[in-house]
Amino acid sequence: MGNSAEKWIRDLVKPIEEDLMSGAAELALRAIIIFQTIMKEKKAEKPEVLRSYLTEAAKQLVGTQPAMAPVFHLSNSVLIAIKDCQSSDELIEKCQDTLDEFEKTLCASAARIADLAYDLIEPGSLVFAYSFSSTVVSALLNARSRGRYFRVACTESRPSLEGRKLASRLNSGGIEVIHTFDTAMGLILPACSVAFMGCDCMALPGVVNKVGSWMLAVGCRELKVPLYALSGTEKFVSEERLFEFEKHERPGSEVWEDAPREINVVNSQFDLVPFDLFSGLVTERGILQAADIKELISNYAVHDSLKLETASS
Amino acid sequence: MGNSAEKWIRDLVKPIEEDLMSGAAELALRAIIIFQTIMKEKKAEKPEVLRSYLTEAAKQLVGTQPAMAPVFHLSNSVLIAIKDCQSSDELIEKCQDTLDEFEKTLCASAARIADLAYDLIEPGSLVFAYSFSSTVVSALLNARSRGRYFRVACTESRPSLEGRKLASRLNSGGIEVIHTFDTAMGLILPACSVAFMGCDCMALPGVVNKVGSWMLAVGCRELKVPLYALSGTEKFVSEERLFEFEKHERPGSEVWEDAPREINVVNSQFDLVPFDLFSGLVTERGILQAADIKELISNYAVHDSLKLETASS
């Protein structure tokens, strides 16, 4: 693949790399559009060329958002689906089917999770929600539209402040919102009946999500506030892939723009919450406990282009 | 006291009201300058007039920074010292003696605390420090100047970002600093050998300090990182005064300037950390444990002008 083709894909993927405001499911929906754009723009190309474009996009997407399991699974499914296609028409059809199926599954999961979460929201209560998760937003808006009255407390989620996006979205949806800065969750949690968070990826060690999720979880346990992660099972990854999130370092200048040069400003985006800190994991297959997780970790085939380099390789 | 006199004092006190970057001891030092300014500007006045100016300043200072125990004790000591003075000369002398004595005690405490804290800093280790406390800064700089090598990790302390002031001060003092946002303390604490915080006021229920101190304390316990509050005993207050910190609400716009109007943006400044979450309280009288606290809560006289209204009054 030539430099200009690679650059064209880099430009397509760039907005996803820069998107620190969206949850994992939302990023996968954005990735679907990128695959569709490539198919549309390159449909006249031979199948090998088309495949190399889609493979490059898959690699870049996974590399740029290494913590986001749905982006990985979507990309992996696409590459496996188009692996043996002989014609461009066949390749495009298989790719489109995979994208459609993935989107349908994501939406069906979110709807089922919203129904399960409804029963966790006590009428008249205050619900805590952290960071931004489209799964959490759809659960809260669904509960509101079914007539349940409750308020939501949320915090800003430094440094990207995607908590403001959450607050605005819920407010527009008719939910009364109390907003504060992150460390003040310690002051507001005692008034909350339940806390919800999303999930970027998970495996046996626990749930990876926006930094602060671990503090929230430890705080919830201390205050006896039940904490649930709302997440479709498309967030499960293998244990070796789980720790890919540690690669996602952002520039320190996003935390402190004009810091003295000698100060080392660290901007890590994710942390890992052990399963035993949750009251449950709300998935499309039901509300699961730590003990249920093991049998759900799916063994999935990984396309060669997306295989991780192991320590010995 | 006339409106113009009251306004003159309000203008003097205003910078202290707006100061969200300084710790409690530093604010008391700034309050000393206000009392001195009043004595200098009004020395030609009759003692009653001078006393009414100083009383008004004391009330405003305590009202404007209700969580800051040293500001209260300084103001209270001044008012008690000048209570029965018959001449302005006598009043000025007593007031100045009180201010000098308070400053001397603050500095001696800080020096003694720094010496005790030195032994808590392991050579070559990473030390966590939260918010901004002049007592913590002087302890760290003292250890560095005595030749101990260590690094400090600190976080920004939203919304006022006084953690940046801490980072800059330590960096200027030759200490290597790692800085990140507040919720990322969960990622950096596991690498720390000890954590230090200051204290704004304390009584039997625990230590009041900048919001986030409670999350830090719970995180430290979970990760088995010893946490110490560095604080002179001038931070002790009566239990009824302790909860005055809850009066210190700041405008929501300091958290989110252009928030949608319907969103309730809360900006509380302090939280309360129970003593049992600390490994110790480093005071000028030694490193104290929770069990030692009770006998140290001093019974002090409170000047009528600074007495709290009780529920029945």
B186–A255: do the CB atoms touch at under 8 Å? no
Average pLDDT over residues A27-38: 96
> pLDDT tier at B311 (50, 70, 90 boundaries)?
low
> Which is nearest to A284 in space by CA: A205, A242, A230?
A230
User: pLDDT tens digits, residue range B153-194?
Assistant: 999 999 999 999 999 999 999 999 999 999 999 999 999 999
For residue A205, pLDDT beyond 60: yes
Inter-residue contact B233 to B301 (CB < 8 Å): no
> Residue A124, SS3?
coil
Residues of B in CB contact (< 8 Å) with A are 156-159, 164, 167-168, 171, 176-188, 211-212, 214-215, 218-219, 222, 252, 255-256, 259-260, 262-268, 271
Q: Collect all residues of chain A within an 8 Å Cβ-Cβ radius of residue B195.
A: none
CATH architecture of the region A111-296: 3-Layer(aba) Sandwich (3.40)
What's the DSSP call for residue A259?
-
As a whole number of angstroms, the distance between CA A150 and CA B255 comes to: 23
B181–A214: do the CB atoms touch at under 8 Å? no
The overall average pLDDT reported for chain B is: 95
Compare CB distances from A186 to B177, B222, B271 and report the shortest one's residue. Answer: B271
pLDDT at A312: 59
Greater model confidence, B14 or A309: B14
The CA-based diameter of chain B, rounded to the nearest angstrom, is: 61
Residues of A in CB contact (< 8 Å) with B are 156-159, 164, 167-168, 171, 176-188, 211-212, 214-215, 218-219, 222, 252, 255-256, 259-260, 262-268, 271
> pLDDT tier at A311 (50, 70, 90 boundaries)?
low
**Residue A257: CA atoms inside 13 Å, Cβ hemisphere, count?**
0
> pLDDT tier at B1 (50, 70, 90 boundaries)?
confident
SS3 sequence of B233-270? HHHECCHHHHHHHHHCECCHHHCCCCCCCCCEECCECE
Boundaries of every domain in chain B: 3-110+302-306, 117-296
Q: Collect all residues of chain A within an 8 Å Cβ-Cβ radius of residue B190.
A: none
The CA-based diameter of chain A, rounded to the nearest angstrom, is: 61
> pLDDT tier at B239 (50, 70, 90 boundaries)?
confident
Q: Which residue has the tokens 């000698």?
A: A262
Q: Collect all residues of chain A within an 8 Å Cβ-Cβ radius of residue B178.
A: 263-264, 266
Return the C-alpha torsion angle A134, A138, A140, A145, nearest 10: 160
Q: Which has the minimum average pLDDT: A75-89, B6-20, B196-210, B294-308? A: B294-308
B215–A215: do the CB atoms touch at under 8 Å? yes
> pLDDT tier at A87 (50, 70, 90 boundaries)?
very high
As a whole number of angstroms, the distance between CA B293 and CA B196 comes to: 18
Q: Collect all residues of chain A within an 8 Å Cβ-Cβ radius of residue B168.
A: 260, 263
> pLDDT tier at A296 (50, 70, 90 boundaries)?
confident
Q: Collect all residues of chain B within an 8 Å Cβ-Cβ radius of residue A167.
A: 259-260, 263
Average pLDDT over residues A111-129: 98
Amino acid at A145: S
As a whole number of angstroms, the distance between CA A214 and CA A218 comes to: 6
Kindly report the CATH class assigned to B3-110+302-306: mainly alpha
For residue B130, pLDDT beyond 90: yes
What phi and psi values does residue B149 have, to the nearest 5 degrees?
Answer: -100, 125
Mutate to test the interface with B, among A155, A164, A181, A225 (most CBs of B within 10 A): A181
| Measured distance between the N- and C-terminal CA atoms of chain B, rounded to whole angstroms | 24
B264–A185: do the CB atoms touch at under 8 Å? no
Q: Tell whether domain B117-296 is in CATH 3.40.50.2000.
A: no
> pLDDT tier at B226 (50, 70, 90 boundaries)?
very high
Q: What is the DSSP string of B38-91?
A: HHHHTTTS-HHHHHHHHHHHHHHHHHHSTT-HHHHHHHHHHHHHTTT--SHHHH
A215–B185: do the CB atoms touch at under 8 Å? yes
Mutate to test the interface with A, among B131, B183, B258 (most CBs of A within 10 A): B183
Average pLDDT over residues A78-106: 96
Inter-residue contact B140 to B127 (CB < 8 Å): yes
Compare CB distances from A187 to B158, B218, B271 and report the shortest one's residue. Answer: B271
Average pLDDT over residues B224-238: 95
A177: left (phi over 0), alpha (psi -120 to 50) or beta: beta
pLDDT at B312: 58
Inter-residue contact A163 to A135 (CB < 8 Å): no
Q: Which has the minimum average pLDDT: A244-253, B15-24, B288-297? A: B288-297
pLDDT at A28: 96
Inter-residue contact B240 to B201 (CB < 8 Å): no
**How would you list the strands of the sheet with A201-203, edge to edge?**
A201-203, A206-210, A270-273
Average pLDDT over residues B303-313: 79
Report how many Cβ contacts below 8 Å link chain A to chain B.
142
User: pLDDT tens digits, residue range B44-86?
Assistant: 999 999 999 999 999 999 999 999 999 999 999 999 999 999 9
As a whole number of angstroms, the distance between CA B256 and CA B266 comes to: 9
CB burial class (10 A; 0-12, 13-18, 19+) of residue A170? buried
> Which is nearest to B27 in space by CA: B196, B175, B212, B234?
B234
User: pLDDT tens digits, residue range A143-169?
Assistant: 999 999 999 999 999 999 999 999 999
pLDDT at A59: 96
Average pLDDT over residues A70-86: 96
